[in-house]
Structure 1
Amino acid sequence: MTKARALSVDDPANDCPVSPETVGQLIKSDAEGATYLLDGIPEATRARLAVWLYGRSHTHEIGVRVAATCDGATLRRTAGLVGNVLYDLSRRPYAAPNHGTRTGSAGRISLGGSKRRA
């Protein structure tokens, strides 16, 4: 049994398990095109790719979609707790992160300052 190289945050481009061209095609493709691209990639590599994509804010959703093509054990072996969470996320409808935005009018902040009454 071979052990996969640990993922690193030092130089994330070095950790990408596929070519930059493949990542670009995956980002630009629709669901059917992505399925076609992923069919030729071994599951262990897809799991590493899912973690790599999910770790970047602009490719979260694609990472979740790639994770949906992997089984839970492979994702857990690849990324431990992160793989487990990614597996869970990939099995439910994707909800884009709101990054702390609020809805409604409660708690509005005015940049105009306070009005003083004389």
Structure 2
Amino acid sequence: MAPARSRSFDDPTLDCPVSPETVGRLARATPGDLPDLVEGIPESTRARLAVWLYGRSHTHEIGVRIAATCDGTSLRRAGGLIGNALYDLSRRPYAAPTHGTRVSGSARISLGGSSRHA
């Protein structure tokens, strides 16, 4: 009997539907190479993979691109509401998320309160 590998919640492969080697190949691939790399993966597994990748900031775009190879039913089955949103997002031209970016010319916010007294 082979020893069981200990897993923790910090384990990035937890719940990943494909091998870490496959994820590595997908991460290094150009957008044009992705369809060929996922061609042999069953659609239900591709849908779970798209949801899994989309949930990580560094593989967000790859998740959207793989979701574009899946139908809406598979994505909804794999990710519920997230799968539904991912389906919609994958049918639009990709736009990188803007969360965490600073907009130039934004107003300064003070946490000190108003300087006027009532």
Fold similarity call, TM over 0.5: yes
- Using the size of structure 2 for normalisation, the TM-score is 0.78
> Over the residues paired in the alignment, what is the CA RMSD in angstroms?
1.8
Shift of 1:104: 3.1
Shift of 1:106: 3.2
Tell me which residue corresponds to 1:107: 107
What do the CA deviations read for 1:39-96 (whole angstroms, capped 9, x no partner)? 0100000000000000101110000000000000110111110100000000001111
Shift of 1:100: 3.9
1:15 corresponds to which letter in structure 2? D
- Using the size of structure 1 for normalisation, the TM-score is 0.78
Tell me which residue corresponds to 2:82: 82
Shift of 1:34: 1.3
Secondary structure of the residue aligned to 1:30 is: coil
2:91 corresponds to which letter in structure 1? R
> Is 1:94 matched with 2:94?
yes
Structure 1 stretches lacking a partner, 5+ long: 1-9, 110-118
Percent of paired sites with the same residue:
70
Secondary structure of the residue aligned to 1:13 is: coil
Shift of 1:107: 1.3
Higher helix share: 1
Secondary structure of the residue aligned to 1:82 is: helix
Structure 2 stretches lacking a partner, 5+ long: 1-8, 110-118
Q: How many residues align?
A: 101
Tell me which residue corresponds to 2:114: none
* 2: CA distance, partners of 1:94 / 1:108: 31
Q: Which runs of 4+ in 1 moved over 4 A?
A: none
Shift of 1:108: 4.5
* 1: CA distance, partners of 2:106 / 2:16: 43
Tell me which residue corresponds to 1:31: 31
Tell me which residue corresponds to 2:68: 68
